[in-house]
Amino acid sequence: MKPTSIPHQQFESLYVAQQRFFKHIIARYFDGAQQQDVLQDFALHLYALFTQKHAADAHLFDSKAWLRTVLVHYCISQLRKDKAQKNSVWKQTTVHHVLVAQEASNLHELELQTLYLQALGCVTKKEALILKMKYEYKRSSKEIERRLDVQYVDVLIARIKAKIKKKMGRMELDWL
């Protein structure tokens, strides 16, 4: 036998013996398929603790109170990570919608495109470039400032929009 197989077998017997106990505690914090994922992740966490502490503190792994504490802290940590991810920008921007074009929406799209081109015709080339960089090419304000050597791009964009609305005589241009 390999020297590492004995601790592995000890961990496996501990895990099998306590698996129902672990599932019961995890069910208090998570539901559905997430329970199984948390259980698997916790098994890896517990194995790391086992390899670190078993030689010096083997008695800890016989204590259900200590195992419960470790598992509860792990569950709370997972909940915090999940909450942090829900609040992050990445999660908010990963929602995908499939749009099905209809005849009426194609006409509306063409109207919007024509109106957009008319709006760009109301401003100077530099102002049109700023709008295109912001809305068509999705560049950040900082990048536009750096590339075009202008300051306060967000203020400038607001002024350009106001200028377009004034020149076109249309105040209902909410898409702008």
105 or 176: which carries more pLDDT confidence? 105
pLDDT tens digit string along 5-36?
Answer: 667 788 888 888 888 999 999 999 988 888 89
pLDDT given for residue 70 in this prediction? 92
pLDDT given for residue 27 in this prediction? 92
pTM (two decimals): 0.46
Q: Which domains does the chain have, with CATH numbers?
A: 5-93 (1.10.1740), 103-167 (1.10.10)
The predicted model gives 104-116 an average pLDDT of 72
pLDDT given for residue 170 in this prediction? 59
* DSSP helix/strand/coil, 90: helix
Average pLDDT of the chain is 79
118 has pLDDT over 70:
yes
3 has pLDDT over 60:
no
pLDDT classification of 174: cutoffs 50, 70, 90 = low
Angle, CA of 29, 83 and 49, to the nearest 5°:
60
Task: Give the C-alpha distances (Å, rounded to integers) separating 150 from 123, 137, 168.
Answer: 16, 17, 25
- Closest listed residue to residue 37, CA positions, set 55, 54, 48, 22: 22
pLDDT classification of 91: cutoffs 50, 70, 90 = very low
144 or 93: which carries more pLDDT confidence? 144
d(CA 125, CA 131): 10
pLDDT tens digit string along 46-89?
Answer: 888 888 887 788 778 878 898 899 999 999 999 888 887 766 55
The predicted model gives 137-143 an average pLDDT of 87
Provide DSSP, 37-53.
HHHHHHHHHHHHHHHHH
165 has pLDDT over 70:
yes
